[in-house]
Amino acid sequence: MNIAIDAGNSRIKWGVHDGSRWLDSGVLATADVEWLSEAADEWPAAARVAICNVAGHEVAASIAALLAGRYAQVSFLHASTEACGIRNAYEHPWQLGADRWAALIGARALLGSTCLVVCAGTATTIDRLDASGLFRGGLILPGYDLMRAALASNTAQLPFAEGVFRSEPRNTRDAIVSGCLQAQLGAVERMFAAIATEPDACCLLTGGGAAPLAAHLRIPFQLTDNLILSGLVRYAESL
């Protein structure tokens, strides 16, 4: 039995996995990390716990404290030179975000072909994983909502737009929405162009901000729930 916890910048997601399927899952705001203890009261006591955290030291300490004494095996995932069939080509492997590393592990467990791993959240990350299991590198850019928020907070006359995606926007709200989405889509599609001729090349798309991208991507992709959590389960099983 495995428990996976993904502590992100905005949300904490968790899931209980029995080795073949998800038995339970949940999500809460990262600012409400203390409420995770209520979920933990219902988790199986003999489970292994694997955590990835990109929300800072205080959140990590809070999670560690509320799990202390409850579980014999609690592991925080950190990027390394190699794990679960993946080799890390980052210049300084340990600087890779734990969430990106977990997503890559999850992708490798799901596919044996070259793929682009796209996690759309507060930030959007776009990572290339070769069929051999080599992580070649990737991009980090502000997420779709963060792009819109940056325009709203750093300009005098532009709102946080709730417009419609159009190829030729003719009002300001649609122009903002379309511009921010085009930036996301363009980054993904440009990265995919480098692997498009690889056998069975695919984009794995996950995260809370994945849906707007999925509606407009022009490349082969799979919308994949819980990719980071699945990577954490795979990591826990490898220990």
pLDDT digits (tens, 9 = 90+) for 118-127: 999 999 999 9
Given a cut of 90, is residue 148 above it in pLDDT? yes
Given a cut of 90, is residue 46 above it in pLDDT? no
pLDDT in the model for residue 45:
87
DSSP 8-state assignment for residue 78: -
Task: Please classify residue 184 by burial: count the beta carbons closer than 10 Å to its beta carbon, then call 0-12 exposed, 13-18 middle and 19+ buried.
Answer: buried
Amino acid present at 56: G
In this predicted model, what pLDDT tens digit does every residue of 155-214 receive, in sequence order?
989 999 899 999 999 999 999 999 999 999 999 999 999 999 999 999 999 999 999 999
In this predicted model, what pLDDT tens digit does every residue of 1-24 receive, in sequence order?
999 999 999 999 999 999 999 999
What gap in Å lies between CA 53 and CA 5, rounded to an integer?
8
Q: Which of 18, 41, 99, 200 is catalytic?
A: 99
CA dihedral 13, 19, 20, 24 (to 10 degrees): -30
In this predicted model, what pLDDT tens digit does every residue of 63-120 receive, in sequence order?
999 998 888 889 999 999 999 999 999 999 999 999 999 999 999 999 999 999 999 9
- Residue found by looking up tokens 């926007």 in the block: 169
What gap in Å lies between CA 40 and CA 33, rounded to an integer?
12
Note if 225 is an active site residue.
no
Name which of 35, 164, 18 is nearest 26 in CA terms: 35
What gap in Å lies between CA 60 and CA 37, rounded to an integer?
14
